[in-house]
Amino acid sequence: MAQRRPWYSVLYVQVLIAIVLGIVIGRFFPQTGVKLKPLGDAFVGLIRMMIAPIVFCVVVQGISSMGNLKQVGRVGLKALVYFEVVSTLALVIGVVTAYILHPGSGFNINPASLDTHLVANYVTRAKDVGIVPFLFGIIPSTIFDAFVKGDVLEVLFIAVLFGFAITQAGSRANAVARVVDATTKVLFTIIRIIVRAAPIGALGGMAFTVGSYGFGSLTNLLKLIGTFYVTSIIFVLVILGPIAYFAGFSILRFIAYIKDELLIVLGTSSSETVLPDMMEKLERLGVSKTTVGLVFPTGYSFNTDGTNIYLTLCVIFLAQATNTHLSLSRLLAMLLFAMIASKGASGVTGTGFVTLAATLSAVPDVPIQALAILVGIDKFMSECRAMTNVVGNGVATIVVSRWEKELEGQKMAGLHRIMANRSAAISETKLEEPKSGTAKTSQS
The CB-side HSE value for 74 (13 A sphere, CA atoms) comes to 10
Q: Tens place of pLDDT for every residue, the chain, 444 residues?
A: 456 667 667 777 788 888 888 888 888 888 888 888 888 888 878 887 888 888 888 878 777 766 566 777 788 889 889 998 998 999 999 999 999 988 888 777 776 655 555 555 555 555 555 556 656 667 888 888 888 877 777 888 888 888 888 888 777 778 888 888 888 888 888 888 888 888 888 888 878 877 876 665 556 678 888 899 999 999 999 999 999 999 888 999 999 999 888 988 888 777 878 888 898 889 888 888 888 888 888 888 788 898 899 889 988 988 888 888 888 888 888 888 787 767 654 444 456 677 777 777 767 777 777 777 776 677 778 888 889 999 999 999 999 999 988 876 666 777 777 777 754 444 444 434 444 343 333 333
**pLDDT recorded at residue 86:** 93
Per-residue pLDDT at 220? 60
Report the C-alpha gap between 337 and 339 in whole angstroms: 5
For residue 380, the 8-state DSSP code is H
Q: Regarding the domain with residue range 7-431, which homologous superfamily does it belong to in the CATH classification?
A: Sodium:dicarboxylate symporter (1.10.3860.10)
Nearest-angstrom CA–CA distance, 242 and 402: 15
- CA atoms of 273 and 265, how far apart (whole Å): 7
DSSP summary character for residue 237 = I
What's the CA gap between 366 and 316, in Å, rounded? 9
Q: Which residues contact 119 (CB under 8 A, 6 or more apart)?
A: 357, 368, 369, 371, 372, 375
Model pLDDT, residue 277 = 86
Could you tell me the pTM of the whole model?
0.74
Cα 81 to Cα 67: distance, rounded to the nearest angstrom: 24
Give residues with Cβ within 8 angstroms of 400, minimum separation 6: 75, 78, 79, 82, 291, 295
List alpha helices for 170-271, DSSP H: 174-194, 198-213, 222-234, 241-247, 251-257, 259-268
With beta carbons less than 8 A apart as the criterion, state whether 11 and 267 touch: no
Q: Is the dihedral of CA 43, 44, 47, 49 positive or negative?
A: negative
Give me the pLDDT at residue 138, please. Answer: 76
- Alpha-carbon distance of 50 to 71, in angstroms, equals 27
Q: For 416-437, give one letter per residue: b (16+ CB within 10 A) or e.
A: eebbeeeeeeebeebeeeeeee
Question: Are 26 and 201 a contacting pair, CB within 8 Å?
Answer: no
Q: So what's the pLDDT on residue 239?
A: 95
User: Can you give the pLDDT at residue 213?
Assistant: 64
Q: Could you count the other beta carbons within 10 Å of the beta carbon of residue 50?
A: 17
Helix (H) or strand (E) holding 88: helix 69-101
Cβ-proximal residues to 138 (8 Å cutoff; 6+ apart), any chain: 153, 154, 157
Cα–Cα distance measured from residue 319 to residue 301, given in angstroms and rounded to the nearest whole number: 27
Closest CA relative to residue 55, chosen from 159, 166, 190: 159
Report DSSP state, residue 32.
H
Distance CA 126, CA 358 (A): 5
In the chain, what are the domain boundaries?
A: 7-431
C-alpha 241/C-alpha 278 separation (Å) is 19
* Conformation bin of residue 408: beta by default, left when phi > 0, alpha when psi is -120 to 50: beta
